[in-house]
Structure 1
Amino acid sequence: MALHSCRTVGDECLEKWELVGSGGFGRVFKARHKDLRIDVAIKILHDGVSAMILRDEAKFMDLASCEFVVRLIGSYHGCQPGKRPCTQQGIVMEFMEGGSVQSLQKDLGGPPPWPLVLRLAHQVAQGMNFIHREKLMHQDLKPSNVLLNYHLNAKIADFGLTRVSASASKSNMETPGQIGGSYKYMPPEAFKSASYEPVRSFDVYSYGILLWSIVTGKEPYQTANYERVAWKIPAGDRPLCEKFEQKGEAGLDELVSLMNRCWDGSPDKRPTFLQCLDVTEKLLSMHRIRIHDAVGQVLKRRMSPTSGTSNTNRAFNVPLQTAEQFENDTLDHCRITEARKSFTQVCDSTKTMSIKDKAKFVDDNRAKLIQDVSEVMAITDELGDMVHRETLSEIGRKDTISQQKMRVLFGRTLRSGGKKVKAAFYDALKAHHPDLVESLGGYL
C-alpha cells in the first residue's frame, strides 16, 4: 500500500493479540504496539477476499485524515498468531477504547445526556464536512461506524464503501458503481432506481437518521425488513420525533429541524455539512459547560458493575414482569401460564445454548431454514457487518425469492463465517421466526 503517510507494521512490533470483531470483509484485532506503547486495531481480510478492498480503504482513510476520522497508522504484513506460516495483509489503525455510538446506546439502554448528544452530532458533522471537502463520500454512516475514544469523542470509521465524488448531481459522478450502506440509513432515491448513483446528499440523509438514533438511543424502524423500508421511505415515512426524552432541553427544536432538513425527500433540499455545522456549533456552545459532567456521568455508568442490566430485558422476545404485575394482571390464566412458560424457555436458552450448539443447529437444519425462513433481510440487517456488501446487495434484490436469498446467505456468509456468525444468525432467527426455531428443537 504505497501511501504517503502509511508505514509497514510487522509482527516484531505487535503483541497481545485479541479478536474484537468480525464482519463480511474480515476480522478486527486489538494488539499492543511495542514501539509506540499504544493499543492498535488491525483489520485483516478473510481468506479469498481481494486485497484491493483493503488498499482502497487505506487510501481513503489516508485522504480523509483529520481529528474526527479514525487515524491510519500503517499497513500490516505478517503472520498473526494461529495463522503461521500464512502471510496476511491488513491495515493498522488507532484503537478506539470507547467502543461505538451503537455500543454506547446498548450500555446506557437509551440516549446519552443532552450535552453529549450535541457534541456527538457536532463532531460527526465536522468529520463528514472534511470528508466531503476531500471530494469523498462515506456511504455507510451509522452508529456502529462512529467510534469513541476513552473520553467519548467521536471519530468516523469504516471506509470500506467510500468512493470519490465531485458534486451533488448524478451527471458529475466520477466513479459510478454499486450502492452500499445499511438500508435503514439509505435515502429514498436509492430505492427508486437500480441505476441510482450515490452522491454527497446520500451521506447527509444518513446523518439525519443517525442524529435521530443518537437523540433516542434507538435503531430506526426496529421491526421493519428491507422490503418494508424500501416501500415506505420513498413514500415519505421517517422516524417519529414526537416523544423525545429531552423535551425542554435548549436546542432540541433546532436539532429536530436539522434532522428534517437532512432527510428531506429531495436531495437538492438537503443542507451541506458546512451548513449542518452552523447549527451544531451553535447548539453545542449553549451546553459546552455541561460536557465534562455529562461525560463523567456516562463513564461512571459504563464502569459500574451493574451497567448494562437495564438492557437485559431488551434482548428477549418475551416481556418480563414482576410478581406484583403478575398478580394485578387481568389476563386469563392460560395467557399467564404461557408467559411464564416462555420466560422459562428464555432462561433455559441462555443457560444451555452455547455458540457451538447454535452453530450446530444452523448446520443441521440448513435445508429446512432455506425453505422456511421468510424474514431474510431483517435477519441479514441484524448480522450487520458480518455480511459482505455484495452479498447484501444480492439478497436485497426485489426479484429474488426468500429461498434464493437464504441460499446466498448460507453460501457466502454462514458457510465461511465460522461458529460466531452462525450463532449470531441463530439469535436473529429466534427474534423473527420463534415458531420455526421451536419446531426444529431450538430454545427460545
Structure 2
Amino acid sequence: MALPSHKAKLIEDESLEDWQLIGSGGFGQVYKARYKTLKIDVAIKLSRYCEGSIRDEALQREASHLVKADSPFVLQVFGLYQGCPPDMGSDMQMGIVMEFMERGTLRSLLQLCRPPWPLAFRLAHQVALGMNFLHEIAHLLHTDLKPSNVLLDQSLNAKLADFGLSNSSTDTTVLEGGTLAYTAPEAFAETYQPVPAYDIYSYGILLWSILTGKEPYPDANTSRVELWTAGQNKRPPCDEINRIQADGISELADLMVKCWDREPSNRPPFIDCLDVTECVYSRHKNGIRDAVNQVLMKLESGNNHLPSYATAPSSLSQPPAARSNDTVDYPNFARSEDASTMDSVDPVKLRIEDKGKFVDTQRAKLIQLTSMVMPIIDDLGNMVHPEAYSRIEAKTTDQEKMRELYKTLRSGGLKVKAAFYDALCKNEPLLLENLSKVHS
C-alpha cells in the first residue's frame, strides 16, 4: 500500500486492542480501541470498501491532510490502519487512527443546548483558528465545515475533523462533497472550482448555528435551499440573534453576514475573522470555566450510561452533486425532540400549583444548570420589570442571572413561577425533563 506524501505511520492489529463499535455511516464504521504502545484510547475510521477503491483513496487523502495540518485546533492523526478488526471476518480493512474526542461533536452539543456565551464565543474562535491554519499554513481547503465535523475534547475545546473532502488550495478538482445547508451558493454551478471563500461561507452559517443553537433550513429539500441561497440570496433568519443583548453578539453577527456574502470576493479571510472572534472571546474569558462546567454537568445529568454513537440522517445531508460522504456524529448526547413531544415536561399536564412547587424545590439546580436565561426572560415578557431585566442582563454568568431572576419569581407569585416553568419547557426541554424525573 502506498502511503501519502505526508506519510502517516502504518498501524496494524498487534498495536490495538479492546475494539468497540461506536458509530457507522455511508463510508463505513468508527471504532474506539486501545492503542497499546501509547496507552490511550483512539478512534478508528474504517472504509466499507476494499483496498484500492475510491473510498480507500479518500481515507489516504484524509490521513495525509490531517498529518499535514498539525495544529492544536485540528484532529490529530496517529496513522493509517491496515488489518482485520475483530468480528469483521478475514477481509483486509483500511482506516485512519485518530485521537478520541470524549465529548463528541458540536452538532451533539447544539442538540442539547445553545452553549453559554463564553463557550459559544470560544468555539467560534477556535474553529476560526483551525480554519486559518488550514488556509494559511497547510494550504488546504476543508469544503465540509459543519457542526458534525467540529469535535470536542473533554474540556469542550474544538478541533476540526473529516478532511475526506478537502482539496489543496492549488488543486483544480471539482468540488465533490459538503453538506447542503453549509454549501456556498456559487458551488451549485456545475463548473465550480473550490476556493477558500467556500470555507468562509460555511463558517458564516456555522456561526449562525452556534449563536442560535439550531440547524439552518430544517426539513428543506435540495432544490429549495439552492433556490433560497443561490437564486434569491436568502440566508438563515437573524431575528433571534438581533434580539440577543450579550456583549459581542452584534460583532459576531456582523462577521457572520460578511462571511456569507453572495460575492465570494467580499468575504473576509479567516485571518481577519480572527480579529473579531479573538476580541469578543477575550471579553468573556473569565466566564469560560463556569460555562464549561455548566455544560459538562448538563451532559452528565442527562447521560448515566455510554451514549449512542449513531448517525442521525438529515434531509440536508446530500450536497448539490452526487455525494455520499456521511459523517459519524459521535457521541449523540441528547435527543433533539421539541418540548411538545416530551410527555414528562408537558406544561399542559401540570397544575399551576405543581409548576410553582417545582420551581421552588429545584431552585438550586436550575440556578446551576440553566443556560438559556435571557430567552426565558424574553418569554416572560412584561412579567419581568425593565429595571429587573437590566440588572439580570448586566450579570456576567448564567448562574448570576438566574439568581437575580429568582428575586423576580419570588416577588411575582405563583403566576410568574408557572410562566417561568412554561418558558423552561420551551427553552430547556432536556434539563426540565431530567429534573422532572428526579422531582417525581
Amino acid at match of 1:146: V
Q: TM-score, normalised by structure 2?
A: 0.68
Distance 1:3 1:74, change over 3 A: farther
| 1:329-384 deviation per Cα after TM superposition (whole angstroms, max 9, x unaligned) | xxxxxxxxxxxxxxxxxxxxxxxxxxxxxxxxxxxxxxxxxxxxxxxxxxxxxxxx
| 1:59-101 deviation per Cα after TM superposition (whole angstroms, max 9, x unaligned) | 1111112110000101111110012422212111101111000
- Secondary structure of the equivalent of 2:337? helix
> Aligned Cα RMSD in Å?
2.5
Amino acid at match of 1:214: I
- Which residue of the other structure, out of 78, 90, 95, is the alignment partner of 2:95? 90
Distance 1:83 1:327, change over 3 A: closer
Distance 1:315 1:46, change over 3 A: farther
Confirm or deny that 1:203 pairs with 2:199.
Answer: yes
- Which residue of the other structure, out of 233, 236, 239, is the alignment partner of 2:236? 239
Residue 65 of structure 1 aligns with which residue?
70
Amino acid at match of 1:121: A
Distance in 2 (alpha carbons) for counterparts of 1:86 and 1:313: 38
| 1:164-197 deviation per Cα after TM superposition (whole angstroms, max 9, x unaligned) | 114xxxxxxx322234200110111122x21111
**Structure 2 matches for 1:54-203, cutoff 5 A?**
54-106=59-111, 108=112, 110-133=113-136, 134-166=138-170, 174-191=171-188, 193-203=189-199
Residue 337 of structure 2 aligns with which residue?
314
Distance 1:129 1:290, change over 3 A: same
Residue 394 of structure 1 aligns with which residue?
none
Distance 1:325 1:34, change over 3 A: same
**Structure 2 matches for 1:34-433, cutoff 5 A?**
34-48=36-50, 49-50=53-54, 51-106=56-111, 108=112, 110-133=113-136, 134-166=138-170, 174-191=171-188, 193-234=189-230, 235-244=232-241, 247-305=244-302, 314=337, 325=348
Relative contact order higher in (CA < 8 Å, ≥ 6 apart): 2
Deviation at residue 2 of structure 1 after TM alignment = 4.7
Distance in 1 (alpha carbons) for counterparts of 2:336 and 2:46: 34
Distance 1:31 1:313, change over 3 A: closer
Contact 1:3–1:62 under 8 Å retained in 2: no
Aligned residues: 318
Contact 2:151–2:160 under 8 Å retained in 1: yes
Deviation at residue 208 of structure 1 after TM alignment = 0.3
Distance in 2 (alpha carbons) for counterparts of 1:296 and 1:322: 25
Contact 1:179–1:198 under 8 Å retained in 2: no
- Secondary structure of the equivalent of 1:93? strand
Distance in 1 (alpha carbons) for counterparts of 2:35 and 2:346: 52
Contact 2:108–2:334 under 8 Å retained in 1: no
Distance 1:26 1:317, change over 3 A: farther
Amino acid at match of 2:202: S
Contact 1:114–1:246 under 8 Å retained in 2: no
Distance in 2 (alpha carbons) for counterparts of 1:118 and 1:165: 28
Distance 1:327 1:14, change over 3 A: closer
Distance in 1 (alpha carbons) for counterparts of 2:259 and 2:243: 20
Amino acid at match of 2:80: S
Deviation at residue 244 of structure 1 after TM alignment = 3.3
Distance in 2 (alpha carbons) for counterparts of 1:323 and 1:87: 51
Distance in 1 (alpha carbons) for counterparts of 2:79 and 2:303: 38
Amino acid at match of 2:148: S
Distance in 1 (alpha carbons) for counterparts of 2:345 and 2:87: 47
Residue 21 of structure 1 aligns with which residue?
23
Distance 1:327 1:265, change over 3 A: same
Deviation at residue 120 of structure 1 after TM alignment = 0.4
Deviation at residue 19 of structure 1 after TM alignment = 1.2
- Secondary structure of the equivalent of 1:233? helix
The unaligned stretches of length 5 or more in structure 2 are 308-332, 352-440
Distance in 1 (alpha carbons) for counterparts of 2:9 and 2:77: 10
21-30 or 281-290: which moved more? 21-30
Residue 329 of structure 2 aligns with which residue?
none
Amino acid at match of 2:27: F
- Secondary structure of the equivalent of 2:17? strand
- Secondary structure of the equivalent of 2:78? strand
Amino acid at match of 2:155: H
- Secondary structure of the equivalent of 1:140? coil
Identity %: 47
Contact 1:246–1:252 under 8 Å retained in 2: no
Distance 1:321 1:80, change over 3 A: closer
92-101 or 193-202: which moved more? 193-202
Amino acid at match of 1:8: L
Distance in 1 (alpha carbons) for counterparts of 2:86 and 2:5: 26
The unaligned stretches of length 5 or more in structure 1 are 167-173, 329-444
Distance in 2 (alpha carbons) for counterparts of 1:245 and 1:85: 57
Amino acid at match of 2:223: E
Deviation at residue 313 of structure 1 after TM alignment = 7.1
Distance 1:189 1:293, change over 3 A: same
Deviation at residue 224 of structure 1 after TM alignment = 1.1
Distance 1:85 1:297, change over 3 A: same
Residue 354 of structure 1 aligns with which residue?
none
